[in-house]
Amino acid sequence: MQSRETTSDDCTLLPMVTRATEWEARFDRILLGLLWGSTVLGASLVTIARGPTPPVLAAMAATGAYAAALHAGLRSSSPRTAWIFALSGVAVGGFAAWSTGGSESPFVLFLAAPVYYASVRYGTVLGASTTGAAIVALTVGDILLGRSLPSAQLLQASLFYALVAVTFSQARRILIDEQLRAERLARTTLLDAQRLERLEASHDLLLSLGELATASELNPVGVGRAALRDLAQHVDFVGAEVRISQPTEVVVARRGEPGSPTDARRYPIGIASRRLGELRIWPPAGVDRSDRSDDVIETMLRPIALAFDNIVLLSEIAARAVREERLRLARELHDEIGPAVASLGLGIDLLAMDADGDDATIAQLAALRETATRVVESIRATVEDLRAVRSSSLVECVHAIVGEIDADGPAVIVELDEQRPPRDGIAEELAAILTEAVRNAVEHSGASKITIAGSVDRDRGHLSVSDDGRGFDPGARTPGHWGIIGMRERADKIGGRLTIASGQAGTTVELQWGTR
């Protein structure tokens, strides 16, 4: 059966039924049975009672033609044509009844068919109207035949038509209400299942973030990796990457094989109006955009945004705390420890004056005085470093370097674990080596991807800058190019070891300093 608008009573519209149901199919079969049964039964009884007279044959022809027409048009009927079928059925039934005896005719049962059709198909309004029309048609037939009104047969037929209309219109209303309730329940169940799927995806990510936080590894790289790992369990993609934009945009995690930036689906990561980063996904070829996948991704991005926001806030708080602590230490060194060591040096000088020619004692005191002088100079240099505005953090240095790379340049993946920034005495050299290595990879290698990795812990650490570009001969001397020589000299200055490996698969610059 085709979709059609239905009514539950005289004035209340129910939502449109969008698919055929089992009860509708059963009602159609009952209608066809009633239609053909009343036609055949009426024709048989009237033929037996009156013989094949012209009025009888006309009644049989009219009812048979209507039954065939309604049978053929039942599947394609609509509210606009329903009145035509209902009223034409009443007209045919009224004619057949009048031709064969009025309210006493066997075709009285035939008039129940259009009443049933209107009540079941289109509700109370059309059912009641068709019932009234059937009663009027039967009454007009009795009047034309000269019968006295109201007759028992007419009253019985009228009551029967009204009973059919009320019974089946109310049955229809109940069944449609149940059908719509079931459809609403099915839609609600589907939405609940989708919400549950999104919550499960978000829960998995929150668990992963909780594990990272417990392991003291809550940093952009760890968060990005956890997000892509959990996202791969719920969304199909050939490549994905997570970028953080605080303080500059940097790729912190990548999975699969990302393609061209123009082919990526971009999902902002942020809280309110603050943009913290971006998720880029490259879907499989030929796969259309999925609203369900977008819902899952957006749900999973919420804890990622919270994690990134926490990282940024913690970084700001830590930086502020570090600055305050540096100033406090600078004050203590300058106001207390520095003068104390200087006083110690003056005491050594007084002892040296009272040594009275004891050469061994004078030499020892001179050595102590020299040591005290170096300590005072070291304290002064440390105070200057502590009060300096510049930051020694290599992570901040990496962000600044990456921020200078053009948008069309190679993708940069940062996998740098900085537990504590390097000492000020070596931070400048490390930053210079790192900057030169990245700049060479960007300008000369033709790489599509650069990876900055390593670990830093105060006075020891390991750094590597790798690219997938064209290699070169590290031992070859190029006139006018002193970058590699400068990196080696800086590495020697801090007691580090610089190694460069290059070939067709790309170039890797590694620096190691301190004790690992």
Query: Which range marks the domain in which residue 224 is found?
Result: 202-308
What pLDDT does residue 20 have? 47
Query: Domain check: are 264 and 117 in the same one?
Result: no
In a domain, 442, yes or no: yes
* Residues 6 or more apart in contact with residue 31 via CB below 8 angstroms: 74, 113, 116, 117, 120
Here the tokens at position 308 are 């990134």
369: pLDDT strictly greater than 50: yes
Can you give the CATH number for the domain in which 496 is found?
A: 3.30.565.10
- pLDDT tens across 213-257, in order? 544 445 677 777 888 888 888 888 888 888 877 656 677 788 888
C-alpha separations of 99 from 40, 137, 140, 158, 393 in Å: 16, 12, 12, 19, 106
Q: Tell me which of 369, 387, 405 is where a domain ends.
A: 387
Phi and psi at residue 305, in whole multiples of 5°? -60, -40
In a domain, 50, yes or no: yes
In a domain, 6, yes or no: no
Confidence of residue 464 (pLDDT cuts 50, 70, 90): very high
Query: Domain check: are 284 and 432 in the same one?
Result: no
501: pLDDT strictly greater than 80: yes
- Ranges assigned E (strand) in 320-425: 411-420
Q: Could you tell me if 204 and 230 are in contact, meaning their C-beta atoms sit under 8 angstroms apart?
A: yes
Query: Domain check: are 154 and 240 in the same one?
Result: no
Q: Distance (Å, rounded) from C-alpha 261 to C-alpha 356?
A: 82
| Top-confidence range, 9-18, 90-99, 213-222 | 90-99
- pLDDT tens across 287-298, in order? 665 666 777 788
| Top-confidence range, 71-80, 307-316, 364-373, 451-460 | 451-460
- pLDDT tens across 388-439, in order? 545 567 888 887 777 777 767 788 888 888 887 887 778 888 988 998 898 8
Q: Tell me which of 257, 280, 308 is where a domain ends.
A: 308
One-letter amino acid of 74: L
Three-state DSSP at 511 gives strand
In a domain, 324, yes or no: yes
Query: Domain check: are 383 and 435 in the same one?
Result: no
Query: Domain check: are 162 and 51 in the same one?
Result: yes
Q: Could you tell me if 119 and 45 are in contact, meaning their C-beta atoms sit under 8 angstroms apart?
A: no
305: Cα within 13 Å, side-chain hemisphere: 18
Q: Distance (Å, rounded) from C-alpha 85 to C-alpha 103?
A: 22
Query: Domain check: are 34 and 55 in the same one?
Result: yes
Q: Tell me which of 387, 405, 429 is where a domain ends.
A: 387
Here the tokens at position 476 are 């070859």
Query: Domain check: are 156 and 55 in the same one?
Result: yes
**How wide is the angle at C-alpha 273 spanned by C-alphas 269 and 278, nearest 5°?**
20
C-alpha separations of 298 from 189, 253, 268, 309 in Å: 21, 18, 9, 16
What pLDDT does residue 317 have? 66
Confidence of residue 19 (pLDDT cuts 50, 70, 90): very low
In a domain, 349, yes or no: yes
Query: Domain check: are 442 and 343 in the same one?
Result: no
What pLDDT does residue 381 have? 67
Query: Domain check: are 162 and 55 in the same one?
Result: yes
Mean pLDDT of 148-163: 81
Peptide bond between residue 52 and the one before it cis (omega within 30 degrees of 0): no
Query: Domain check: are 167 and 224 in the same one?
Result: no
What pLDDT does residue 515 have? 64
β-pair partners for 506: 503
H-helix or E-strand spanning residue 466: strand 460-467
Alpha helices (H) in 252-290, listed in sequence order? none
Higher model confidence: residue 20 or residue 168? Answer: 168
3: pLDDT strictly greater than 50: no
| Top-confidence range, 239-248, 332-341, 452-461 | 452-461
In a domain, 9, yes or no: no
Can you give the CATH number for the domain in which 214 is found?
A: 3.30.450.40
The beta-carbon contacts of 10-16 under 8 Å, at least 24 apart in sequence, are 10/124, 10/125, 14/176, 14/177, 14/180, 15/180
Query: Domain check: are 277 and 241 in the same one?
Result: yes
Q: Identify the CA nearest to 275 among candidates 253, 297, 241, 248.
A: 248
In a domain, 7, yes or no: no
Query: Domain check: are 75 and 152 in the same one?
Result: yes
Q: Distance (Å, rounded) from C-alpha 66 to C-alpha 86?
A: 11
Q: Distance (Å, rounded) from C-alpha 299 to C-alpha 202?
A: 6
In a domain, 483, yes or no: yes
Q: Which burial class, exposed, middle or buried, applies to 428 when counting CB atoms under 10 A from its CB (0-12, 13-18, 19+)? A: middle
When divided into structural domains, the chain yields a total of 4
Q: Could you tell me if 453 and 434 are in contact, meaning their C-beta atoms sit under 8 angstroms apart?
A: no
Here the tokens at position 234 are 């719920």
